[in-house]
Structure 1
Amino acid sequence: MMIQTAIFIDAGFLLSLGGHRVAGTTLRSAFITHYESLVRGIVQTVKRNTGLNNLRVYWYDASKDGLFTEHHKRIGLVPGVKVRLGRISYNGEQKGVDLRLALDLVGVARNRSASIAYLVSGDDDLAEAVEEAQDLGMKVVLLGVAKPDSRLGVASVAEHLALTADYIETIPDQLLDSAFTQVLEWDKNHSEKTTLIAKSPAEPISEPGLKPIVPTPSVMAHRSAAKSLTETETEVVYSSGRNNSGYQGAAAYEQKELSAAEEIGAKVAESWLASTTQSDVVELIADKPQLPPEIDRTLLKDCAQVLGEWKTDQQIIRRTLRGAFWEYLDKIM
């Protein structure tokens, strides 16, 4: 077996943690990733920890139809990086990413191409592939993002995967802080302009430079139905900040978690509104109270960073997240 390392990176996992660290949200439009310095820094960290050369960095992400986007091409041109793409399903979920990673991990072990694999992921589904690679003689190390208050010491890693790996190391905080940059700050003027479209169609948009957008009858019908639904289900949809929230009598720790979920929902709404367009607002309102998959996925990922995966799976937490997102928009519309 070649005495060298190989690095396997789940891009969705790494970018979510890095972006949340600098921008407070996993919404990719809220931060810039400096891919070359990030990859180079991870390779240098692994070499410093092992003293070994690295075979290759495998970078796993998803895209529409599994096709290379411009940013995937940029990553693929970084020396020593192999980009492997899964697909994004109709509802915005990644498909095939874990399978590609698992096959490559076992393949490198079977071909005896590397003696140590560094895995940047937290997905429990990879545990079996890790065990098979170990049975073939490879050592597998989890490389995560430090989270001192976590029992494992790292963020968003499944316990089963952590127990399966040989040991856990962390990416230096300095590397993460330099490789991710927050680019969005809430702009009141921008937010006011983007929400003008939510006003009555009888009200002209007089802001200079803004092109009026007249909602279609279909959009108005959706908007009317959504408004009626929201008005009749206010106490269910909205969060515990209301006087008659339905959560009275809950334990103190539950109230704290619900408050955290409210803050997360509002933060995602703020970040989204800072970069959105009028047409995006029209589409969002037309589908109210349903959220686009990207926004809903961001809410759940951000919540998992703060409360953990198990708490995020609770329906009361999910309702609070989504309700807080809409409540933030309602306040400024």
Structure 2
Amino acid sequence: MRSWCALYVDAGYLLASVATRATGTSLRSGIEVDHERLIEALVAHATSSSGLPVLRVHWYDAARNSVPDQSQGKISLLPRVKVRLGRIGFDGEQKGVDLRIGLDMVAHARNAAIDVIFLVSGDDDLTEAVEEAQAQGVQVMILGVPGKNGDPHGVSRHLQGAADGLDLLAAEALDAVVSPRVGAAGKPALPPSQPQPPVPSPSFFATRRSASEPADHGTPSPVEQTSVRADPALVYSTRTGAAATATSESATAEEDAHIDQVVQRVLETWLRSATIEQREELLTGRPAIPRDIDRALLLDLSGLLGVYDLTDTTRYRLRARFWANVDRSQRAQRITLSARR
């Protein structure tokens, strides 16, 4: 019976990681990707590393109502590539992707369809699936993306410890197929000044359903103003728009520097490719931050701080700094336009 290897690709991890390598932020919309050549690089690595032919590439991503977008549709037409889609929930988070990866790995291992698994992911939640596949006699290797410093980007130590080994994709192969996305030349950084919504009273803190969720979805609950020391910046929940004041005790200078670094990179990357309509939507939707931008802000700051789950206070400060940078960009643009006149 012929031996095979197979690839199980968490597209969210892969594309966020190569985006970070190319632009300094995990914002997927900030990069151009030649998906066919990227998948060819994955196959070439798996074949070379294992000495076995690749049976199939399993590509896992999320989509609205599990309906593939244009890019996912093109990927599904590539030979020996199977696209498996989870869904995007009402809160903008992907649902069911990790579960699909784990179930497929274990099922294929039990059926003796493959001998070596290459898992392109860094998610700790897949650790148990890795161990179950190994119990069926299959070797499981993690295939990671190298950061600019050469270390694997975003791979859980727990997952790495459970796997049979960690390989890194060739940096030159990634750099050849991924590049920063740039929009049409001559666009202003942001549209001219827009009417701003009224600032809500800073006497409410937004609560969350779960401490592990990356976004705030709960109903604001009142707190006593005297219970905290007010920070000068108002902060907002990305969904409820509730304002709050952050405790100055937790706002260290080092954290502030990291927050500013993340916000600047994400905003600059997004602005390079955003259309005028998208920029206007950003401003008119304030204080809600678009999900892809908010996800990149949270993911990048978590990686920079080395913290898996950011505190509410840190999330609030991060979002406040984002809007402060948007305002600063608008002011700079108005000054430039006035000087030209």
- Which TM-score band applies after superposition, normalised by the shorter structure? 0.7 to 0.9
- What's the CA shift string for 1:269-306, capped at 9, x where partnerless? 22223333444344333443331222111111222343
Q: Which residue of 2 aligns with 1:290?
A: 288
Matched, 1:125 2:98: no
Give the deviation of 1:315 after TM superposition. 3.3
When residues 224 and 66 of structure 1 are mapped into structure 2, their CA distance, relative to the original with a 3 A threshold, is: closer
When residues 249 and 109 of structure 1 are mapped into structure 2, their CA distance, relative to the original with a 3 A threshold, is: closer
Q: Which residue of 2 aligns with 1:176?
A: 174
2:57–2:81 CA contact under 8 A, matched in 1: yes
1:195–1:332 CA contact under 8 A, matched in 2: no
2:247–2:313 CA contact under 8 A, matched in 1: no
When residues 180 and 277 of structure 1 are mapped into structure 2, their CA distance, relative to the original with a 3 A threshold, is: closer
2:72–2:83 CA contact under 8 A, matched in 1: yes
The one-letter code matched in structure 1 to 2:315 is R
Matched, 1:226 2:199: yes
The one-letter code matched in structure 1 to 2:311 is Q
Partner residue of 2:311 out of 295, 302, 314: 314
CA distance in 2, matches of 1:181, 1:282: 25
- What's the CA shift string for 1:58-109, capped at 9, x where partnerless? 0000101101221112111221111100101111100111111111101110
The one-letter code matched in structure 1 to 2:317 is T
Q: Which residue of 2 aligns with 1:61?
A: 61
1:31–1:183 CA contact under 8 A, matched in 2: yes
Matched, 1:195 2:191: yes
Give the deviation of 1:36 after TM superposition. 0.8
Q: Which residue of 1 aligns with 2:16?
A: 16
When residues 321 and 10 of structure 1 are mapped into structure 2, their CA distance, relative to the original with a 3 A threshold, is: same
**Hey, which of these two has a bigger chunk of helix by percent?**
1
2:197–2:286 CA contact under 8 A, matched in 1: no
CA distance in 2, matches of 1:313, 1:43: 36
When residues 248 and 96 of structure 1 are mapped into structure 2, their CA distance, relative to the original with a 3 A threshold, is: closer
Local SS of the residue matching 1:225 = coil
Q: Which residue of 1 aligns with 2:336?
A: none
Question: Where in structure 2 are the equivalents of 1:2-41 lying within 5 Å?
Answer: 2-41=2-41
When residues 229 and 130 of structure 1 are mapped into structure 2, their CA distance, relative to the original with a 3 A threshold, is: same
- What's the CA shift string for 1:35-60, capped at 9, x where partnerless? 11111111111111121111111000
Partner residue of 1:301 out of 293, 299, 302: 299
Local SS of the residue matching 2:187 = helix
When residues 287 and 148 of structure 1 are mapped into structure 2, their CA distance, relative to the original with a 3 A threshold, is: closer
Matched, 1:328 2:325: yes
- What's the CA shift string for 1:153-187, capped at 9, x where partnerless? 42211222111111111111111111211122796
2:21–2:147 CA contact under 8 A, matched in 1: no
The one-letter code matched in structure 2 to 1:325 is F
Give the deviation of 1:262 after TM superposition. 0.9
Q: Which residue of 2 aligns with 1:262?
A: 260
When residues 141 and 159 of structure 1 are mapped into structure 2, their CA distance, relative to the original with a 3 A threshold, is: same
When residues 7 and 106 of structure 1 are mapped into structure 2, their CA distance, relative to the original with a 3 A threshold, is: same
1:261–1:303 CA contact under 8 A, matched in 2: yes
The one-letter code matched in structure 2 to 1:226 is V
Give the deviation of 1:248 after TM superposition. 7.3
1:109–1:133 CA contact under 8 A, matched in 2: yes
- What's the CA shift string for 1:172-205, capped at 9, x where partnerless? 1111111211122796x5235x421x345xxxxx
Question: Where in structure 2 are the equivalents of 1:39-78 lying within 5 Å?
Answer: 39-78=39-78
Q: Which residue of 2 aligns with 1:216?
A: none
When residues 149 and 7 of structure 1 are mapped into structure 2, their CA distance, relative to the original with a 3 A threshold, is: same
